[in-house]
Chain A
Amino acid sequence: MAMEGQIALTVLMGVLLLGVAVWLTRLEDWRSYTPLAGGGVIGDETGHAHHEKPSGIIRWFTTVDHKDIGILYGTYAVIAFAWGGLAAFLMRTELVTADITILPGTQVYNALLTSHGITMLFLFGTPILAAFANYFVPLFIDANDMAFPRINAIAFWLLPPGALLVWAGFFLAPFADAVTGGSAMSWTMYPPLSAEQTNPANDLMLLGLHLTGVSATMGAINFIATIFTERGENVGWSNLDIFSWTVLTQSGLILFAFPLLGSAIIMLLFDRNFGTTFFAAEGGGTILWQHLFWFFGHPEVYILVLPPMGIISYVLPRFAGRKLFGFKFVVYSTLAIGVLSFGVWAHHMFTTGIDPRLRASFMAVSLAIAIPSAVKTFNWITTMWNGKIRLTTPMLFCIGFVSNFIIGGVTGVFLAAIPVDLVLHDTYYVVGHFHYIVMGAIAFAGFAGLYYWYPMYAGRWYQKTLAKWHFWLSMIGTNLTFFAMILLGYAGFTRRYATYSGLTVGPVEVITLLHQTATAGAVLLLVGQIIWVWNMVNSYYDGPRVETGDPWNLQEDGMRGREWLWFERRLETTIATDGGDEEEALTDGGEVETDDD
């Protein structure tokens, strides 16, 4: 009886799947608007000829247009940013008091901590940069699209299942007894903790992380191929823009770093599930994981920071009214950072008891990598020095980037010194330092880019006053939160703790006060980001329309970039044909065919 029931169920599912397949084939004639990846032809149509994009949600599910995929990456990243930000806010709220009062338990805190780290680095940081790179690199280099448009789409569509797997523990815990909550092994996933925790959410997170790594690698291959082979006639290496240079270097780093992370993750999964001993004390040892992880992990820092530096190097001169000072040196420093970033990983492991001679050499390279970063800062400031500055919102974020980057960078130089690191390792000083970089610099550069190009991708203006509020709340919030963390570190307070009533490093009152200050900053950050989302969404529908191809008046300084020339052509064609937004294909340099058959 049970057997018959199963057969009936299988047949039913088969019929259902068949029905879905038939429905999909009837829904759209896919090939009518999907250009072939290799630029080939179907029948007598060219692969580049767009007819018309389908309307509604189907457009977004089927698109291979680099601009649409850029928007998809951006939307995805903003959702992840909200998730990661709310996780951080919950943690900060918990830390207002010394004991657990708001969250159900310390394991929930650990899960939020893990989710915050993984989400912000892999589901927000890397994708938001891919959003910019997808939308703008082809425009900057005068290409029709990415070299492999379909691989581009696949790379994006690996991300949503990746995110669901990474967050799966939170969703599944109420329904499955085995899942005790979100994964709580921290973003660094150090064994033996990560190998021994029995929660299956950890396995799901590792699989999700693996997917995002595959996605990033596919994207990187695509960017390298695009920048090498798809440049327009007038775009050579000598006049390649600074943002594309940083994306190219970043893609090279991804190509070497992410596959290694993927391999290490698989080894960890095997240790967890199949009894291998790659990272067990009796096997390869727990330090092996740290070496593999940080060989990926430190280049990852530069994977996240190079394109934002590219955005700043691109946007800041536009509002300083002069070209970037020492362009060549900014490119050289980008390449130097790319190479050196693979030689600093063990500075994360100074306290693990590794050979002191190794330690000293990693300290030397870690101090050396500060030099190319300082060269960039030097050039940004010199650009401003000789310029005439317009304090628009993107410019405010650029200046905010530079000042936060200096604080984050200098605190990092101290950590690179072994004696200082031995004292401050695993304290809040480290957390404060890297948040100055990831929030104060990387996110600020993202905001600068989002505001600067808003007239282009939204076709409308954002609300200026709200944008200024967003900047000042973010700037003050960032410094309040993360400087309080630096002080917590000086006070000897260890990171990753959910409670601190029994601590012995100093009076609980002082620690509590510093935590409350950091939380006050987090409130400002939260309010600022709510204002930002409101501004972005609301202006997208109701903002005044952009009617000129040079909305920032850059022409008067001779600073108008290629992307705005493209935008002007798009505006002109839109008006000429009286068509809607769907006429974008023309502006790619392709042809619009009015095919009536």
Chain B
Amino acid sequence: METSVRSRIGGRRMVLGLYTSIVALAALFGAMIGLVLPVKKGVPDTAGLGPFAFEINPLNFAVYGAVMVGLSLGALLLLMAAVSARYPDA
């Protein structure tokens, strides 16, 4: 019976855990895209965002995925933490 699930996990721990696993997953997905993209015909050797250009390979794409997702979700996470501290009872 699920009523017996009385142990609780702190919400912050849970959300931070989710954040970490999503960033790790983004790195994995990035690596997989780095593997798949070069086999497609007519794909350039390098990819990039703004001034950052790099070769398309699994390692570069893993780093790109982790940094990109880590920064964008991290910014949202900080915003969320700030809003939640400001309005705890909303």
Contact code string B24-52 (vs A, CB < 8 Å = 1, else 0): 00000100110011011100000000000
Answer yes or no: A532 CB below 8 A from chain B CBs.
no
Whether A494 sits at the interface, judged by CB under 8 Å, is: no
Whether A381 pairs with B80 at a CB distance below 8 angstroms is yes
Interface presence of A399 (CB below 8 A): yes
Q: Is A507 an interface residue (CB 8 A)?
A: yes
Task: Decide: B33 and A490 in contact? CB cutoff 8 A.
Answer: yes
- Structural contact, B39 and A491, CB atoms closer than 8 A: yes
Contact: A381 with B6, CB < 8 Å?
A: no
A385-B84, A464-B1, A483-B29 are known contacts. Are A490 and B14 too (CB-CB below 8 A)? no
Q: Report A470-504 residues with CB < 8 Å from chain B CB.
A: 483, 487, 490-492, 504
Q: Please measure, in the bound complex, the distance between the C-alpha atom of A510 and the C-alpha atom of B37, giving whole angstroms.
A: 10
In the bound complex, do residue B37 and residue A490 qualify as a contact, i.e. CB atoms below 8 Å apart?
Answer: yes
Assembled-state Cα–Cα distance A97/B37 (Å) = 21
On chain B, the residues within 8 Å of A326 by CB distance are 90
Query: Is B83 an interface residue when CB atoms closer than 8 A count as contact?
Result: yes
Tell me if A384 counts as interface (CB < 8 A to partner B). yes
The smallest C-beta distance from A472 to any residue of chain B, in angstroms, reads 14
Asked if A507 and B39 make an inter-chain contact with CB atoms under 8 angstroms apart, the answer reads: yes
Distance of B51 from chain A, by nearest CB (Å)? 20
Within 8 A of A (CB), among B1-31: 1-12, 14-15, 18, 22, 29
Q: Which residues of A contact B10 (CB under 8 A)?
A: 388-389
Point out the residues of chain B lying under 8 angstroms from A75, CB to CB.
none
Let me know if B81 is at the binding interface, CB within 8 A. Answer: yes
Nearest chain A CB to B4 CB, angstrom units: 8
Measured CA separation A491–B33 after assembly (Å): 9
Interface stretch of the complex, out of A102-110, A170-178, A390-398:
A390-398
Neighbour of A388 across the interface among B1, B8, B32, B41, CB < 8 A = B8
Interface string of A548-566 (1 = CB under 8 A from B): 0001110000000000000
Asked if A382 is at the interface of the complex by the 8 Å CB criterion, the answer is yes
Determine whether the beta carbon of B36 is less than 8 Å from that of A389: no
Distance (Å) between the CB of A361 and the closest chain B CB? 26
Q: Is A245 located at the chain interface by the 8 A CB criterion?
A: no
Residue from A325, A326, A403, A462 having most chain B Cβ neighbours under 10 A? A325
Q: Of all chain A residues, which has the CB nearest B19?
A: A381
Q: Is the CB of B11 within 8 A of A552?
A: no
User: When the two chains form their complex, are residues B76 and A378 in contact, meaning their CB atoms are under 8 A apart?
Assistant: yes
B14 with A389: CB separation less than 8 A: yes
**What CA separation (Å) do A544 and B4 show in the bound complex?**
13
The answer to whether B11 and A325 touch across the interface, beta carbons within 8 angstroms, is no
Would A392 and B5 count as touching, CB distance under 8 A? yes
Which A residues are CB-close (under 8 A) to B15?
381, 384-385
Is the CB of A505 closer than 8 A to any CB of chain B? yes
A321 close to B (CB within 8 Å): yes
CB atoms of A382 and B36 under 8 A apart: no
Q: Are B84 and A325 in contact (CB under 8 A)?
A: yes
Choose one: B1, B11, B33; the contact of A389 (CB below 8 Å).
B11
B positions within 8 Å CB-CB of A: 1-12, 14-15, 18, 22, 29, 32-33, 36-37, 39-41, 76, 80-81, 83-84, 88, 90
Cβ contacts A to B, 20 pairs, < 8 Å = A321-B8, A378-B76, A382-B83, A385-B15, A386-B11, A388-B10, A388-B11, A389-B8, A389-B9, A391-B5, A392-B5, A406-B22, A462-B2, A487-B32, A490-B33, A491-B36, A491-B40, A492-B40, A492-B41, A544-B1
Interface residues of A (CB under 8 A from B): 320-321, 325-326, 378, 381-393, 399, 403, 406, 461-462, 464, 467, 483, 487, 490-492, 504-507, 510, 514, 544, 551-553
7 extra A-B contacts, CB within 8 A, seeds A384-B15, A385-B12, A392-B5: A382-B83, A385-B81, A403-B18, A487-B36, A490-B37, A505-B40, A506-B40
